[in-house]
Amino acid sequence: MTFSAPVEAVARPLPPTDRIRLGVLASGRGTNLQSLLDAAASGQMPGEVVAVASNRPDAPAIERARRAGVPASVFARADYPSRAAQEEAIVGFLGERGVELVVLAGYVPVLGATLLGAFDNRIINIHPSLLPAFGNTLHAQADALRHGVKIAGCTVHFVNNQVDGGPIILQRAVPVLEGDTEESLSERILAEEHRALPEAVRLIADGRVLIEGNRTRILPAS
């Protein structure tokens, strides 16, 4: 008797497109949002940020978006009777702007079923560690130093119902130097995040990313 491995479902997040419409969710400074705005403006990324949403009214990311002329709105959890209602409002905002791909750029809340269902396989996140190491934490850089790792970095991955557990699109490694502090390591990782996030969007826009189970396959450039 012979056994064959199960065939995993293959999904393409989006068909190839000349200009992907991005919706960015951010809770903080918005430097990764800025990297996307800059990459789009310079033509280094075939995409356009068409909507920015935040859960914090004081998030500097909101001001970055407005300076760039991008519609931005705040969806504070306290303004809604439930997380589902909050997410329904966000989905409506993104839908009105024709968003095709959602990018979490320092967005703190864990996504629920409403957002995940509305943008199945079309939400990506950037995390400041080489997943699966130091996932599901807001202090990945400090945890890396505490464990004495020699290589840290960042990961861009699809978002599913497992926190920091979705299929990995790409990773960038950063050496941990003697004398590094959380701040110095974070700064070097952030520089790589600013390169990795637009690159991941470019791969998806080019139709080169296939999701196979909990892994991705990156197709060669045509």
Q: Is 127 a catalytic residue?
A: yes
CA-CA distance, 196 to 202, in Å (whole number)? 10
Angle of helix 31-42 relative to helix 60-67, nearest 10 degrees, comes to 20
What residue type is assigned to position 194 of the chain? H
Measured in whole angstroms, the distance separating CA 111 from the mean position of its chain's CA atoms is 12
What the block records as the tokens of 157 is: 């991955």
In the set 127, 139, 147, 157, the catalytic residue is: 127
Strands (E), 15-90: 20-25, 47-54, 72-74
Reference 215, options 114, 132, 151; nearest CA is 132
- Determine the 3-state secondary structure of 26 from DSSP: coil
H or E segment and range at residue 141: helix 140-146
Tell me the catalytic residues: 127
